[in-house]
Amino acid sequence: MELGLLVRQGARVTRFAFAIDQRSCIGCHACTVACKEEHGVELGVFRTWVKYIEQGEFPDTRRFFSVLRCNHCEEAPCVTACPVTALFKREDGIVDFDSERCIGCKMCMNACPYDALYIDPKTHTAAKCNFCAHRVDVGLKPSCEVVCPTDAILSGDLDDPDSEITRLINTEATQVRAPEHGTKPKVFYIGAQEAALNPTLVGGGDAFLMSEVPPTQAEKLAPLTATATARAMGDVAHPAPWGWRVSSYFLSKGVAAGAMMLAALLLVVGAHGSHLADIVPGVLALAGIALTGVFLVADLKQPKRFYYLFIYPQWRSALSIGSQIINLAGAVATAFLVASIVGADGVREALLWPMVPAGIMLAGYTGFLFNQCEGRDLWQSPLLVSHTVINALIAGAGSLGIVALFVHAPAGDMHALGWTLTLGVGASAVIIVLDHFGLRHLTRQAEIASRNLWRDRFAKRFWLGGVVTGVLLPTCLGVIYLAAGGGLVLALAGLFALVGLWFYEDAWVRAGQSVPLS
């Protein structure tokens, strides 16, 4: 991969950064236009943009601007999260990208705390400000800096004590965006209002410079306005990268992982001779893994490049590791199923216990994947990995409980499924309570996202779908089954649990992306 010209002064490596003096910025958008012209940026997306906010009440109001872009972080989470090394940090500190390598998974977009990345409508790959690396390599300044009429944008070498940017940063009070994420951003702001850099302090209002927001959108922005100190008057759209396909992937993978883990339990406690303990878990595991692959590939903006995950793996990325875990789980489940079909009991018994750790890894890696999305504070829960494993057990027990209506199911197997489903739903409910009502959210963004989940934008999906359908009904039916039996009761409990899991996970995925990062 071409990393560009290494800029050196003697033996020292250059470390590029931006300083933006918001006291001088007049909000003219010259930087935005120059950037679009320099890089051929399509309509509707931006590498750099200017946000307008207003503070105060008429007639005592003031308007402020903030020039926003990639922060070229020292500890860039987008680089770590990218599964195929399409994003990389050059030796001069510039975070650049290779559109020929990108698969369009959008991991980088959720990993970035600054809304800096977007999907190019033409190439269907991730793109962002790259510091005009092609200009820097030949000794030129970035195009935005060249056209700024007030010299509000300055770039330079932080490691050069005599550079203008170093002198400016050393003599003026500066701020950076989202310092709590520990990314060490290299875009420094001078004289910026706090609300101009912190989007959780900005309400959407009901009007922009030349248009009004439709009521439905105003309602969506309402949760932010309760504690807002400023009103947005000009901004760009940053749609949520992930939607129903990712929510569905959660469920399909959970069914596969749960079936693998429960195969061992059913073979230990159940009566031998039942396919519910060997062939059925194997079929469910492979079907769930196959469907998971379909959802994952379908969600890629470059689906034809899905195999890059295997030929260009980036081993710090949870998505890259997870793709290998899916392969491993699929191989174990296939061998287990084949051994069960041909009656190779010795091989099946040998493979029985590897099914458990393979299922745990298949379920749990998703927790690490979402934890790696550092831009979404709701997803940084310390309970997330354990929650994904518990939800997989629920999905597996629910699926097996439904299938038990159609195959021979010994009482021991059914009883084990009933206990797994009921206790699993109870444990999941405890984690939900701790996550959204018990534990104190460490950031304002996580607090707003959690409130959007259970009280505002996604409340119906959360309460009716996740809690009533996915917790209360399966718990009641599970208790009835354990007390009185009945395969249909257990199947209904399983069905409600599966539906409820999808609704909860869909609401949770969307709520995590509901708070603006810029």
CA dihedral (465, 471, 475, 476) in degrees, to 10, reads -40
Give the number of C-alpha atoms closer than 13 A to the C-alpha of residue 413, restricted to the C-beta side: 29
Which residues, 6 or more positions from 175, have their beta carbon under 8 angstroms from its beta carbon?
188, 189, 190, 192, 194, 197
| Interatomic CA distance for residues 151 and 282, integer angstroms | 65
| pLDDT of the residue at 264 | 87
| pLDDT of the residue at 208 | 52
Mean pLDDT of the chain: 90
Find out whether 316 and 78 touch, Cβ atoms under 8 Å.
Answer: no
Q: Does residue 282 have a pLDDT over 50? A: yes
Query: From its phi and psi, is residue 16 left (phi > 0), alpha (psi between -120 and 50) or beta?
Result: beta
In order of their start, the domains of the chain are: 8-234 (3.30.70.20), 244-512 (1.20.1630.10)
pLDDT in tens, 201-224: 887 654 455 454 444 443 444 444
Is-cis flag, bond preceding 59, omega within 30?
A: yes
| Interatomic CA distance for residues 86 and 101, integer angstroms | 5
Amino acid (1-letter code) at residue 128: K
pTM of full prediction above 0.95: no
Find out whether 110 and 242 touch, Cβ atoms under 8 Å.
Answer: yes
% of the chain residues with pLDDT over 90: 77
What's phi and psi for 13, nearest 5 deg? Answer: -95, 135
